[in-house]
Structure 1
Amino acid sequence: MKHLIKLVTASAAIAFVTTGGASAEDWFPYSVEVWDPPFDMASPRSSVDYAPLAKASKPWDLCVSFPHMKDAYWLGVDYGVTEEAKRIGVKVNVVEAGGYTELNKQISQIEDCVSAGADAVIIGAISFDGLNNVVAELAAKNIPVIDVINGMSSDKLSAKSLVSFGEMGAKAGAFLASLHPGGGTAAKVAWFPGPAGAGWVEAGNTGFQGAIEGSALELVDTKYGDTGKEAQAKLVEDTLEAYPDLDYIVGTAVTAEAAVPILRARGLTDQVKVVSYYYTPGVDQGIARGQILAAPTDSTVVQGRIAVDQAVRILEGEDYLKHVGPALYVVTEENHGEFDPSSTLAPNGFRPVFSVQ
């Protein structure tokens, strides 16, 4: 395969996962997993060492659609996409719909992007099934569509740059279950998976609930909601009122970030512990300070970078991996010093970039 990948040993893959190097100009090679057959999260996976193209042959025009940029998670994806576009020499137009209730807006933004001349489209989907018609329309026009981060069910996609959010939820659940194994100390957990109907949320929910099955953990409530800070804070407040003997709050990064000051204000920091099932700067800070116990990282910045590389490879007729995602691992206070933030977090002070010309 031209300019593509080389297989790595398991030990090399582990070394890369824990110390990975995703600095702006030299983020690769990066340890990833490849699903084969693609587009089925249950497919067998292999570890490979991902290396992108050095440069694009021409300044292709890429449309990138996100659900929103209300939290630092999507800022990380934006950073990865726009920095990789600069490195490889392509144009990018980034649009964001404003939230997980805005499916119709996301669809119209994508259609406008394509009307303006986009050569390929990268989509962080609001809905697992809701964008299938627009994906089919783009495929009929031979416009490649890359599914980044959230997941879509369409069989017309060109490639996926994402991880299993089921596994992200499972890793958070397994971390807790290891503290409270079956027959061990009982504990009550409230679970905040995110906005109902989003593919990543449903997967995360299944993974988390499966991982705590058989443990001494009691799931007292599951609360869905938008990943805005106000929405999650309200859910946390309501849950603490309903369950005064709660032991754990587990959920989105926004849930975890919102929970920390609420617990402090209520004097519950020692009673109620917090776990996130994905990673943001606020979660990173919380883990470093001992306010959040743990969170799996999915190397968000790298997922954005790979999506750009996949799009350019397809446009240039190069070989490409159809379904790839960074290897997952859990960051705790104990191993935090080994974590490479540039794989996952935008730099301090980064502001959303909507255009690369």
Structure 2
Amino acid sequence: MRQTGFYRKCLPVVLGALLAWSGHILLPSGTASAAEADRLKGLVQPLKAEKPFTMGVTLVHLQDDFWKGIAYGIQDEAKRSNVKVMQISVAGAYGNVREQFAQLESLKSRGADYAVVGAASFDGYDTVFKQLQSHGTKVLAAGIPVNSPNVTFGVGQDEAAIGTTLAKAICAVKPKSTTLSIPGPAGAEWARLRFEAFKKEAAKCPGMVVTPGAFGGSLDLAYGMSQASDLLLKNPGADFIYTPVISLGMGAAQAVRQQRKNVKVVSSAIIREALPMIKDGRLLAVTSEPGILMGRLLVQYAIRDHEGKEMPNMIKDKALPYPYLLTPPLAITPKNIGSYSFDEYDIPPKDWNITSSQ
């Protein structure tokens, strides 16, 4: 089963989410403070668990603010909400499914009520999840989808919408333009979805040309810098560079500066080191990937599931064999960076680490 459908927009859900994202959802009087609602972007009313329960977590890695933000969001929201997080573990890298299997086995033996999984692979987990469920541990998909019907629900983001948002940002500034592309690693479905959607939206913009790019390479700054340097030498008249993730985007921005070009970069995922580049315009637009918000939502929806309460904004379709919630994309630009709470939604505290969460 392909992941593409997971990121398809459902109009009623997305409209509701966007209204919430803009802060227009009003909570019933006496149910929660404005600050409490704001930490969840108004997507759901914050609750405290009436019946305490336990959660265990295993994520791909904690090497970037996205996954670290999910872990921090889970841990902090659980403290606020009368939920116990018994363990946060990491697989170490994409593809390390055996490590995650061992971590899930540990959660099962310890009797966790919920196992939150940022899966190291899309496939291969179904038997393990089924065993967890048979022992009373429900599985929640964190950040990215996983191919199994034995998942209670998932919380992620619309990857295609990220690509669409970045193309729109370029079109709004300079429709008749040329964008060089660094699509991302081969075999990464999230990168493919973003780039395909970027190209599709760019085709709607009169005069916007996107140069083809080859999937491959790593996700580090050095690779983004080397690829952008080569592309700029071959295409001296380019206006923009597209990258699917901020590490590549920052490398591309450094290459632009070295060659003294007037070329802007678009990318995705907010990290602290990129903020100055957004402010001075080297990064034209960067979409938020609110890992902290996703972590908080996983806890809040687990409370609702555990207590049999309403699960608002959940999408139920044939895209995945379980219900899922998508956080809407938001483009951070030099114009709105001063008003966006990246410490609240994207970037965990500097002093937080996995040890402090145990």
TM-score class normalised by the smaller sequence: 0.7 to 0.9
- 2:37 is matched with which residue? 28
Amino acid at match of 2:72: Y
Q: Distance in 2 between the 1:245 and 1:80 partners?
A: 43
- 2:110 is matched with which residue? 116
Q: Distance in 2 between the 1:209 and 1:132 partners?
A: 34
Farther off after superposition, 106-115 or 92-101: 106-115
Which 4+ residue blocks in structure 1 deviate beyond 6 angstroms? Answer: 8-11
Note the alpha carbon deviations across 1:250-299, whole angstroms, 9 max, x for none: 220111123333433x233x333211133222333321232211112243
* DSSP-derived class of the 1:271 partner: coil
Amino acid at match of 2:190: W
Q: Distance in 2 between the 1:166 and 1:11 partners?
A: 16
Q: Contact 1:128 / 1:197 at 8 angstroms: preserved in 2?
A: no
Alpha-carbon distance change, 145 to 9 in structure 1, aligned in 2, over 3 angstroms: closer
Find the partner of 2:193 among 203, 211, 231: 203
Q: Contact 1:144 / 1:314 at 8 angstroms: preserved in 2?
A: no
Q: Contact 2:69 / 2:290 at 8 angstroms: preserved in 1?
A: no
Q: C-alpha root-mean-square deviation of aligned residues, in Å?
A: 3.2
Q: Distance in 1 between the 2:18 and 2:129 partners?
A: 38
- 2:328 is matched with which residue? 327
Q: Contact 1:16 / 1:31 at 8 angstroms: preserved in 2?
A: no
Structure 1: which 5+ residue stretches go unaligned?
Answer: 1-7, 18-24, 33-47
Is 1:16 the counterpart of 2:23? The answer is yes
Find the partner of 1:259 among 252, 258, 271: 252
Find the partner of 1:147 among 117, 141, 158: 141
Alpha-carbon distance change, 113 to 31 in structure 1, aligned in 2, over 3 angstroms: closer
Q: Distance in 1 between the 2:142 and 2:291 partners?
A: 10
Amino acid at match of 1:325: L
Q: Distance in 2 between the 1:134 and 1:10 partners?
A: 33
Is 1:187 the counterpart of 2:178? The answer is yes
Q: CA deviation at 1:56?
A: 5.0
Structure with the higher strand share, 1 or 2: 1
Alpha-carbon distance change, 258 to 109 in structure 1, aligned in 2, over 3 angstroms: farther
Q: Contact 1:196 / 1:225 at 8 angstroms: preserved in 2?
A: yes
Farther off after superposition, 248-257 or 221-230: 221-230
Q: Distance in 2 between the 1:284 and 1:330 partners?
A: 13
Amino acid at match of 1:79: Y
Alpha-carbon distance change, 320 to 12 in structure 1, aligned in 2, over 3 angstroms: closer
- 1:125 is matched with which residue? 119
- 2:4 is matched with which residue? none
Structure 2: which 5+ residue stretches go unaligned?
Answer: 1-14, 25-33, 315-323
Amino acid at match of 2:20: A
Q: Distance in 2 between the 1:236 and 1:223 partners?
A: 14
Q: Distance in 2 between the 1:152 and 1:68 partners?
A: 16
TM-score (norm 1): 0.77
Q: CA deviation at 1:126?
A: 2.8
Amino acid at match of 1:344: Y
* DSSP-derived class of the 2:247 partner: helix
Q: Distance in 1 between the 2:48 and 2:279 partners?
A: 35
Q: How many residues align?
A: 322
Alpha-carbon distance change, 11 to 311 in structure 1, aligned in 2, over 3 angstroms: closer
Note the alpha carbon deviations across 1:177-209, whole angstroms, 9 max, x for none: 33443xxx331311334x444443333233222
Q: Contact 1:69 / 1:75 at 8 angstroms: preserved in 2?
A: yes
Note the alpha carbon deviations across 1:80-115, whole angstroms, 9 max, x for none: 111112111312411122222433333333333333
- 2:280 is matched with which residue? 289
Amino acid at match of 2:325: V
Q: Distance in 2 between the 1:11 and 1:102 partners?
A: 35
Q: Distance in 1 between the 2:18 and 2:95 partners?
A: 43
- 1:156 is matched with which residue? 150
Alpha-carbon distance change, 14 to 87 in structure 1, aligned in 2, over 3 angstroms: closer
Q: Distance in 1 between the 2:163 and 2:210 partners?
A: 16
Farther off after superposition, 240-249 or 148-157: 240-249
* DSSP-derived class of the 2:157 partner: coil
* Percent identity of paired positions between Structure 1 and Structure 2: 23
- 1:346 is matched with which residue? 347
Q: Distance in 1 between the 2:251 and 2:117 partners?
A: 27
Q: Distance in 2 between the 1:246 and 1:104 partners?
A: 44
